Amino acid sequence: MLIIPAIDIKDGQCVRLKQGVMDDATVFSENPEDMARHWLEQGARRLHLVDLNGAFAGKPKNESVIRAIVKAIDGSIPIQLGGGIRDLETIERYLDNGISYIIIGTAAVKIPGFLHDACYAFPGQIMVGLDAKEGKVAVDGWSKVTGHDVVDLAKKFEDYGVEAIIYTDIGRDGMLAGINIEATIALARELTVPVVASGGITNLDDIKTLCEIESEGIMGAITGRAIYEGTLDFKKAQLLADELSAMV
């Protein structure tokens, strides 16, 4: 199982939000590219980037920082990116610049034809971020909760050809409250594409719990606040995940 460090970018800085609230941001680094190098040195095999300003604006806002991160990593590991990506031109530009996977969130829900076209144009490189509150999908930087059921939408997007589904429980994101295992399993069992868990990972116990359900279709877990505040040692987390996966 991949343990994936998150680098959320707001105003050019590496931050973490609580429950997606932009005004409740904690700055962890003024140099996101240095943070990317740090996680690479700690053994990360993939990075998760989010353009937070872009997510709220509906268009890229931190492209220069993202390019700097790509340059710093220099192709050593894959990078997945989301936040404000709403057209094919933006996807193509990011992929040409060295991003490995594009995450489509709000646009996948609001403009399903766009997601379908993206999967067709860039096979194997499109992931969908489904952010949910009490089983319903949220959009526009989590500011609006729709009436769409998570499982129903995920099945629809799977048919489009997405590479994976990133599932985030908004209520737990950035709260260090533990991951919503029940909802994550329920989603993974309904799909054939892999699920990446996100939101609420706190410590090594959460990693153990996730590894226990890896066979259900959980390919990885994104972690942010826990590794920045020190409740989770990233290197130990990935080593533990490797050990437990090898035992299965």
Alpha helices in 97-180 (DSSP H): 106-110, 112-121, 150-160
CA 199/CA 177 separation, integer angstroms: 9
Residue type, 192: T
- Report yes or no: 35 and 12 within 8 Å, Cβ to Cβ: no
For this structure, is 11 an active site residue? no
CA 164/CA 168 separation, integer angstroms: 13
For this structure, is 131 an active site residue? yes
- Report yes or no: 22 and 174 within 8 Å, Cβ to Cβ: no
Tokens 């080593």, located at residue: 239
Residues β-bridged to residue 170:
none
- Report yes or no: 33 and 71 within 8 Å, Cβ to Cβ: yes
Catalytic site residue from 131, 169, 173, 206: 131
Give Dmax (Cα) for the chain. 45
- Report yes or no: 100 and 79 within 8 Å, Cβ to Cβ: yes
The length of the chain is: 248
Cite the active site residues.
8, 131
